[in-house]
Structure 1
Amino acid sequence: MLGFLRSGSPHLTPAPARRRVLAVLLTLLALQAGSLVAPAWACGCGAMVAGGAGRVSVGREESVVRWDGVREDVVMRLTVGGDAERVAWIMPVPRRATVRLGDPELFEELHDVTAPVHRDRHHFWPRDGDWPLVTGGDTARGPRPPWVGGPPVGVVGRQRLGPFDVARLTATDPDALDRWLDSNGFTLPPRLEGALRPYVDRRWEYVAVKPAPRSPGVPLTGILDPLHLTFRADEPVYPMRLSRLADTPQSLGLYVLAAHRMEPSSRIGGERPRVTYAGRVAEKSGPLAELAAGTPFLTAIGQEFPYPERISGDHVLRRAAADDTFQQVIHEDRLRTVAGVPAWLLTVTGGSTLAAATAVLLAVRRSRRPEAPPPPPPPPSARPAQPSAPIG
């Protein structure tokens, strides 16, 4: 490449072309350098920060919001990947929160309750994939809290919960969070510092969590134990603002437990939220029944954010107009058969056989019908008299 750009080469490259090639090289170098920076990975409930030069990603996020009119619970489970041995997860909360470990079985129960119902839907005539229209290939279907001032950053409490080191923080400016994280071996990226500014201005607090790797020197990957946060709330809210830092489209899956069916009050910059399940919890025992006590209506909400930078705030949830129930139904299209034989084939074959038999029967009946004899000639006396010729 250098020889190609050297001015003494017998094949000279025009100046505009050289500038374009240099621009491409500089871009590649910038991208390579950028890949070495430990980024903040945005997820719906907050942001993850990798310690050192490692990288971290959130492959899947599941959250449950429970609100009884006074208190809000948020239970979340993350699936993380990457090569970072140390990560920190930061979540803003409107008021002081308590933190404990959640029950992993909660999400398994939620999956079972909200799963779509599969029903067969039969069709008479063959479609692509049915004999004889098989084309090959895969045919499977498949209000603001009171604030009395204080230091720029304060540690309300710190505790060890299983594999997590949990700190509950207050901060009056993002720099305080930056210094706290830095003193604990983590660097707060400038973009995340700016994204936290609205929460600082509203006097929110923060929950900072450091998951410990299962073994020294082994990156933290896989499904993390759920965390259960509880705090007072005048209205149910789910923090989403930090998701605007994401570089790729985001997908939100949220379970909401309340006295009635709930819905987001706005799109906050994403596509229209869709309800994938709505109904009262019927379970009498287990983690779901325990969490749903006093808040028996479960609403599952999904939303896509193809342009995360357009996310304008947090999700505030409100009561829906009616407590209508809903469950997704997936229809499995199947060809109608009789004793394993396609019904259309029986109909066509039977109809053809009946038509052929009818034609044969008519032909046989015609062949056996006696022919009528010709009518006899009239007698001579009955013949009409011939007029006589005129005389003279």
Structure 2
Amino acid sequence: MSSRSMPFALVLVYLMVIVAVDLMTPSELRLDVFAALAPMTAAALCTYRQTVFVGLLDFCVMVAHHGVLTSDVAVNRVGSFVGNALMVGASIAVARLRRDGDDLLERVRATGEAAQRALLRPLPLRTHSVVVDGFYVSSQREALIGGDLYEVVDTPYGTRVLIGDVRGKGLGTLGAGAAVLTAFREAAYHRRDLESGVEAMEQGLYRYHRSAAYEAADGGRPGAGVEDVVLRASEEFVTALVFGTEESPGQEGREEGEGDGAVPVVFVDCGHLAPFLIGPEGRVRELEAPDPGLPLGLGDLSTATRTAQRVELPAGSRVLACTDGVTEARAPDGGFYPLAERLDAWATLPTPELLGRLRADLDAHTGGRLQDDVAVLVMERAAPGSVSD
């Protein structure tokens, strides 16, 4: 029995029980008040058509039994007719309002899902040289995305991969995330080195903080002024990791036997969690940058320029990057999630299975109650002949 038909069946059984008891008891004991609960319950639990059916059935049975067909007292006839009519009419009206509300919510959800999917594309994402798989979980119910962001771009200079985390969580951080993502996508195609691309991302965030849309976001608060907007902007920053493969266009068509060497990778750390290198033999270690930079939006606080770190990834190795929603996920007793320990145990698993274990274990660790948005990416070399998205 489907989830929609079960409440309908229970309401009909309830109504039949009330009618049966009413028929077996003296006529002075009237149970039409209890029968009237059937259409009201249907209005709350059943579909609109099911509610109309239950309401009409209840109206016909109760009026026939207590008023129109059996009672010689005019007041009883009028009372049964009007009382049941009002109750059934109210039930149908409630069901209609609930149906219209559900339809509106579904349209809003579909629109929001399309907008969110346009901002963050579904994983996995592929380029000529790299496959990036992972998962994303928003801490806000009914939202597909929140304050975390990611992107994978195939450029003339190689693959560019971004993972970032906007300070805060939920839908209120979408503006800053969209500004950084837009700047990343544009810079990836026009700037060869990662350092200048990161500069473009930071400038994009600054432009967003100076925009009229950002200022209007605080305009509804009583007493909000320019100083409040500036203070709010100074507290909204984005931690990010930007990866890039150093490959020439001729490497895209490499033969199957030519893909066994180490992969040169460059990354820029903007105050983000260090990624993990998972070796082909199952060894796990952090790729800590010697000089990690400040998060995007705070670059003006330092005169030091952002620097790229270059590493050689052994053949068959993978890089796992995540946001602090993973490492700071708390158990009911307050304990943090032991990501490094889990990766040591699962390092030899294929990427889809590793991600599935991690996703399920996060739910078990937090009891299904994430305190922050979560993004996890696993980057590995693409199989020869793969086609970019």
Could you say which TM-score interval applies, normalised by the shorter chain? under 0.3
User: Could you tell me the TM-score, scaled by structure 1's length?
Assistant: 0.27
Higher strand content, 1 or 2: 1
Higher Cα radius of gyration:
1
User: Could you tell me the TM-score, scaled by structure 2's length?
Assistant: 0.27
